[in-house]
Each structure stands twice: as C-alpha cells, then as structure tokens.
C-alpha cells in the first residue's frame, strides 16, 4: 500500500487533478523502485488499474519493459511541482489524450531564471532535438541531432530583482524539457537546473528545479472547460521575497 499523501485539487467522475510534490516521479522507469504517483493512484483508486495505455521501453530488445501508467495522459518532471491531470475512465483518457495531441490543453508554469529579462513578455520559437553530447539532454541550439520537432513557448515576466526574474511560461507544444531547453537557449536558464545549468550555483534557496506547473485548462466530455490551479509552494514564496 502506498504511504504517499498527495493533495487533490479537483475531482469528478472522470478526472482527478493533483498537486504533485517536487521530488516525486510520475511513473516507474524500470531502473528504480522509488514511490511514484502511479503507486498512489492504485492505492486510492485500484479500479483504475486498466485505464490508459502502457509504455513499452526499449521495444524489440532483449531487455524490453512494459510500464503500466493507469490514467496518466501527461507527465511532469520529478523535480517539477504542480498540477497533473489523471483520467479515471478509459473514455476520459482517450478524450483528454486527443486534446493534448491537438494542443487544446493550456498549461501555465511559473519559474525563476537567471538574469533580469529585459522584455516584459516574449516568445521562444525554436525546434528541439537531441543534444549531440549527452543522451539525457535536449537542445534548441545549433548542433542538435536527430529529428527537430517544432516547439513554442510564450512567457511573461512577473517580477525582477537581484539578477533574477520570476516568469510565467505557457508552452504551446509539449516537448520533453521544453521550458528548460528554451530558456537555456535564450540565455536565461532556470535556477537550480542540474541538467541545463549545471555550472551555476543553486540560488534563491532552491535545492530543486525552480519550476512549478501552476495551472491547467482542459475540457470534459460535455464540453465544459475545467481550469485548476496549484498554489505556489513554500520554496517559491520564499524566493519571491528575495527579489525585493
């Protein structure tokens, strides 16, 4: 039985929206046995076991692995906190999956970045591919390899101070690490990002990636728009005061 306690921000007959804590992975990766959001789902809603579709890792290889992800339509990184939508039924899963594929789901993030960004708002429109040196990383800069996939992030500066900016970011595409990769590409990497700003000292009191999934908007099958917000976590609130 899972001993995790995860705040539920919204729930109806078809969807649950949780406030995922930083440091918690959404589903297993086949390499570790740490607790996951999926463990929590199966604990509180065991009837959801068959909802969704499995993820096949290393297909066709001797070490092929099937990972079950009940109700999981999208994910956020381990060290990112905030809103995550989980489908409770197969029909709700398919409906939400289509919205993600059609880019009809609106996601809003908050983050702290290095440098006081001069423009009040802007857009990063740079395709993303694999980093040519490190398979764990993605890149929106010259020299990226493999398929380059379109990626667009809109952003707005909410506060500046002491060499940092507090930003609202809205990715219009859903590429892996998109916000982290885009902000690095335009030279204001995210605070405490171990992958994309490894040589920068952690700042503003963060000991984890300074990225929070603040809000999400999607439609239910009746066509009603559901918008859910996750309050700023304590480390974000403390960091905001340091920009004064």
* pLDDT beyond 70 at 141: no
Query: What proportion of the chain, given as a percentage, has pLDDT over 90?
Result: 72
- Supply the pLDDT for residue 28: 79
Q: What is the pLDDT of residues 147-178, one digit of tens each?
A: 667 789 999 999 999 999 999 999 999 887 99
Identify the residue with better confidence: 163 or 28.
Answer: 163
pLDDT digit string, tens, across residues 54-79: 877 667 677 777 778 999 999 899 99
Q: Which residues are catalytic?
A: 77
Which two tokens mark 5? 């306690």
Backbone phi, then psi, for 179, in 5-degree steps?
A: -65, -40
The DSSP letter of residue 119 is S
Round to the nearest angstrom and report the end-to-end CA distance of the chain. 45
Give me the mean pLDDT over the 116-124 stretch: 97
% the chain with pLDDT above 70: 88
How far is C-alpha 10 from the chain's CA centre?
Answer: 18
Q: Are 84 and 74 in contact (CB under 8 A)?
A: yes
What is the model's pLDDT at position 1?
Answer: 43
Whether residue 93 is predicted with pLDDT greater than 80 in this model: the reply is yes
> Do the strands 106-114 and 8-11 form a parallel or antiparallel pair, or are they unpaired?
unpaired
CB–CB of 192/207 below 8 Å? yes
- 45 burial (CB, 10 Å; 0-12 / 13-18 / 19+) is middle
- pLDDT mean over 192-197: 92
Q: Is the pLDDT of residue 86 over 60?
A: yes
Question: Regarding beta strands 211-219 and 81-87, do their DSSP bridges make them parallel or antiparallel, or are they unpaired?
Answer: parallel
Q: Which run of H or of E encompasses 82?
A: strand 81-87
Q: Rounded distance, CA 127 to CA 143, Å?
A: 12
Model confidence, pTM: 0.90
Confidence band, pLDDT 50/70/90 cuts, at residue 126: confident
Per-residue pLDDT band for 235 (boundaries 50, 70, 90) equals very high
Q: What is the pLDDT of residue 65?
A: 73
């Amino acid at each position: 039985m899972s001993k995790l306690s995860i705040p539920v921000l919204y729930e109806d007959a078809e969807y649950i929206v949780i406030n995922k804590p930083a440091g918690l992975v959404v589903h297993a990766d086949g390499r570790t046995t740490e607790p996951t959001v999926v463990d929590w789902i199966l604990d509180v809603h065991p009837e959801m076991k068959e909802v969704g579709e499995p993820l096949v890792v290393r297909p066709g290889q001797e070490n092929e692995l099937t990972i079950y992800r009940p109700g999981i339509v999208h994910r956020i990184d381990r060290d990112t906190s905030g809103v995550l939508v989980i489908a409770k039924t197969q029909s709700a899963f398919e409906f939400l999956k289509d919205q993600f594929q059609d880019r009809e789901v609106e996601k809003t993030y908050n983050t702290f970045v290095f440098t006081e960004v001069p423009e009040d708002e802007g857009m990063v429109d740079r395709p993303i591919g694999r980093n040519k040196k490190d398979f764990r990383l993605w890149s929106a800069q010259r020299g990226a390899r493999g398929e380059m996939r379109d990626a667009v992030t809109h952003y707005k500066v909410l506060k500046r101070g002491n060499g940092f900016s507090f930003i609202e970011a809205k990715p219009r595409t859903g590429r892996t690490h998109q916000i982290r990769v885009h902000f690095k590409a335009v030279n204001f990497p995210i605070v405490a990002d171990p992958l994309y700003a490894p040589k920068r000292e952690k700042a503003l009191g963060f000991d984890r990636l300074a990225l929070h999934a603040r809000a999400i908007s999607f439609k239910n099958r009746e066509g009603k728009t559901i918008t859910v917000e996750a309050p700023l976590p304590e480390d974000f609130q403390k960091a905001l005061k340091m920009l004064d």
